Amino acid sequence: MKYYKLTLKLFAFTLIALLQTACSSSGKDSNETTVISEVQFNLKNVPFSTKGAGLALSYNKRNPGLGLNDISGNGHFSDGGLFSISILTEKDPIVPEANATASLLSITSNNKIYVEGCFESIKIFRLRGKDTPVLLNALPLVFIKRKADNVYHLTLNLPHGTSRYILSCLSGEMSFLEKESKFRLSPVEKEFEIRIEEADSTWQSLTSTLSFEECVKLTQQKFEEWLSKMPATAEKYETQRQLASYVLWSSTLDAGGQLKRSGMLMSKNHMHYIWSWDHCFNAMTCSYEMPDVAWNEFMVLFDNQDEKGQIILPLQTKI
């Protein structure tokens, strides 16, 4: 009972804060200045994703090494793995290290970059490598079907929904080792590039029109616009402020399923849900410069309120 009283008080406080902020910012002269992002992190600490996307890369205990994970249909924490990634050397495959900025993933071993990744959009993730072959090791729940040369359909059946992805090779060679359930990505003229695209039941695919570098630049611009609207802190905390801003931005999932509007998950690593009271803090953070975002974040739980007034907790994403 005490928990619910505290939660209701926090809801009320957040609502008042949102209304006050919206009123005070309505007549505000917005001379926005872009903040240059210096965000850098290790994927063992923070997942790599982008605002709105249902994919994230991270290390987690239930899948070996660095994994590409589906978030949008994943209601069971870490069950949504698509692939783990390993680097092929003259000896055994290597489980790599991974670091990232807000827009660019770097997959390394012994401080050498072998593979880079970026998001073209919230639906499309791109991966490119140079010089050295890479293995994508399909994880147990992934069903793979060849559709054309260098094009495969991936289906992930989860308790709370079905996720579909189209894997295609843009350059280099991609071969499917069926018995091992692995894709081998091999450079041609020292480079390969693939893309993984979220699809629906029609399996329609979009045409890539941007170069890898253009995707990185566009994502960086989007994050720096978000960063410029985050609350200010003392200069000595700027590194932490930028990383916290990235976590909020990248944890956002686009509308779909039970989500009638976009919302911030507690994490795209393990806690793939939206909970009450946590979402209030997210809303308060965004309320200073982005009242529309804050309002959506506050109201996302109430979209599924039942006729008795109960709020569904935690909120699943795809069902």
CATH number of the domain enclosing 100: 2.70.98
Dump pLDDT digits (tens) for 130-143.
989 999 999 888 99
Residue 258 lies in a domain: yes
- Reported as type and span, the H/E element at residue 113 is strand 112-119
What CA–CA distances, in Å, run from 171 to 108, 128, 153?
21, 9, 18
Residues 81 and 141 in one domain: yes
Asked if the structure places residue 180 within a domain, the reply is: yes
φ, ψ (nearest 5 deg) of residue 180: -95, -5
| Contact (Cβ atoms closer than 8 angstroms) between residue 253 and residue 265 | yes
| Structural domain includes residue 269 | yes
Q: Is residue 202 part of a domain?
A: yes
Q: Specify whether 13 is located in the same domain as 58.
A: no
Same domain, 206 and 221: no
Identify whether 309 is part of a domain: no
Full pLDDT tens readout for the chain, 319 residues: 444 444 444 444 454 444 455 445 444 444 455 677 789 999 999 999 999 999 999 987 666 789 999 887 655 555 678 999 999 877 788 889 999 999 999 999 988 999 999 999 999 999 999 989 999 999 888 999 999 999 999 998 877 678 899 999 999 999 999 999 999 999 999 899 999 999 988 999 988 789 999 999 999 999 999 999 999 999 999 999 999 999 999 999 998 877 889 999 888 887 778 888 888 889 999 999 999 999 999 999 888 888 888 887 777 665 4
| Same-domain pairing of 73 and 196 | yes
Give how far Cα 299 sits from Cα of 10, 23, 193, 283, 303, Å: 13, 18, 40, 9, 7
225 and 300 assigned to the same domain: yes
What pLDDT was estimated at residue 310? 87
Co-location of 248 and 101 in the same domain: no
> Which residues constitute the domain of residue 133?
44-210
Same domain, 28 and 52: no
pLDDT at 72: 77
Residues 11 and 139 in one domain: no
pLDDT score recorded for residue 153: 97
310 part of a folded domain: no
Residue 189: inside a domain: yes
Domain end marker among 194, 210, 226:
210
The continuous run of DSSP H or E covering 181 comes out as none
Q: What is the pLDDT of residue 206?
A: 84
Domain closes at, from 173, 195, 210: 210
Q: Show Cβ contacts of residue 256 under 8 Å, excluding neighbours closer than 6 positions.
A: 54, 72, 317, 318
The pTM of the full predicted model, rounded to 2 decimals, is 0.88
N-to-C CA span, the chain? 30
Q: Are residues 8 and 149 in the same domain?
A: no
Q: Are residues 63 and 191 in the same domain?
A: yes
Here the tokens at position 207 are 């045409």
Instruction: Give me the pLDDT at residue 314, please.
Output: 74
Q: Indicate if 50 and 189 belong to the same structural domain.
A: yes
Contact between 187 and 129 under an 8 Å Cβ cutoff? The reply is yes
My answer on whether omega of the bond before 291 falls inside 30° of 0, hence cis, is no
Question: Residue 91 in 3-state DSSP?
Answer: coil
Q: What's the pLDDT score for residue 93?
A: 85
Rounded Cα–Cα distance for residues 16 and 22 (Å):
10
Helix (H), strand (E) at residue 299: helix 291-299
At 68, phi and psi to the nearest 5? -100, 120
Q: Pick from 178, 194, 210: which residue ends a domain?
A: 210
What pLDDT is attached to residue 258? 78
Task: Please give the tally of structural domains in the chain.
Answer: 2
Cα-based distances in Å from 135 to 65, 106, 146, 191, 238: 12, 16, 17, 14, 38
Q: Indicate if 77 and 171 belong to the same structural domain.
A: yes
Is 311 among the domain residues?
Answer: no
DSSP code of 163? E
| Cα four-point dihedral sign 141, 142, 145, 146 | negative
